[in-house]
Amino acid sequence: MNKNDKKTRIFIAGHLGMVGSSLHKRLKKIEGNELVYRTHKELDLTNQFEVKEFFENEIIDQVYLAAAKVGGIYANNTYPADFIYSNLMIQSIVINEAFKSGVKKLLFLGSSCIYPKFSTQPMKEEELLTGILEPTNEPYAIAKIAGIKTCESYNRQYKDTHGIDYRCVMPTNLYGPGDNYHLENSHVIPGLIRRFHESKVAGKESFKIWGSGSPRREFLFVDDFSEACEFLMNLEYSVYKKKLGKVHHINVGSGEEISIGNLGKLIARIVGFEGEILFDDNKPDGTPRKLLDSSRINQIGWSSKTELERGIEITYKKYLGTIQ
C-alpha cells in the first residue's frame, strides 16, 4: 500500500461481542483498514450525546453495527422491556449520528427472528411483515425490524443527496468463540455446551433439554458470518441492489438445519457426556422451524464453509480455555 493512500477507517460497534470480535479479527488482517472501537465504559451507545461527540471527533468511513442486547428464550421472556429499549436506542442513535457525521457506508446486523412465526420455509426476505411474530422474542424482533426500516428510510431520503449506502444483513442463529455461556441468558448452542460440560464433570446420569426437542434450527459459525459481512459491505452497489430488488435486507445462513434433539446428541458426543438425554415438554419450544433462504447471497458469490460439527468442536475448545 502506498504511504499516501488513505486508510479506510472502520468503526466496529460492539467489538467485544461474539460477532464484533470475529469482525475485528477478520478486518484487522486486511491491508488499508484502520479499526476504531470503544468499550461500553468508553462509549455508551444508548447515550446520544456521547455517540454524537464520538462521531464528531472521529473520521469514520464505514460502520459495522454489531452492538445489540441479545439472549435466548428465557432472557427474551424475562426482560422484554430491556430488549426493545436497548436495541431501539443503540441502532437509532448510531445510524442517525453516523449519517449526520457524513458516514457513507453502514452495515446493520439483524436477526432471523424478524420473520413471522409460521413463515414459509425456507424464509425468503419477502416474508418480512407478512404475519405474527414469535411471542417469546417479539420485542427484540420488532427492534430489529425497526433497524431495517431505519436504514431503508435513510437510503430512500438521502442516497441521492448524500451518497449514503446503508445495508442490512439478517443472520441465522450464530455460534462460535466469544459466545455468552450464561446459564439463563445464553442461546441454545452455548447453553448446551456449558450444561453438558458441567453435567459430565459432575458425573450426572441424565440431562434435560428445554422443550420437546422437535423444533428445527439452522446454525452458522460466527467466522463465516463475519466473512459474509465484509463481503456484503464492500460488494459493488449495482450488484447488491440488482440482487435485492424490492427488499432492503439480505439473509445469511448455512442452508442446513438440525432438530434441537439431534443438536443435543451432537453436543453431548463432542463434550463427552454419556448420560441419558431427556426433554422437558413443560418448557416452550419457540418457533417450530427456522431456516433462511440464503439464495440471494449464494448467487452473488458467498456461501458458508464451516460444518456444524467442526464449528462446535472449535467452540467447545475455546470454551474450555475460558474456564481453565
Kind plus residue range of the DSSP H or E element containing 51: helix 48-57
- Widest CA span of the chain, in angstroms? 65
- Per the structure block, which three cell numbers stand in for 20? 464484533
State the catalytic residue, choosing from 37, 64, 140, 166: 140
Cα dihedral 176→177→181→187 (10° resolution): -20
**Catalytic site includes residue 154:** no
Q: Whole-angstrom Cα distance, residue 234 to residue 230?
A: 6
∠ at Cα 86 (288, 143), nearest 5°? 45
C-alpha distance from residue 95 to each of 9, 35, 106, 183, 193 (Å): 16, 18, 8, 32, 35
- Cβ–Cβ < 8 Å for 193, 263: no
Nearest residue to 240 via CA among 296, 293, 294: 296
Catalytic (active-site) positions: 140
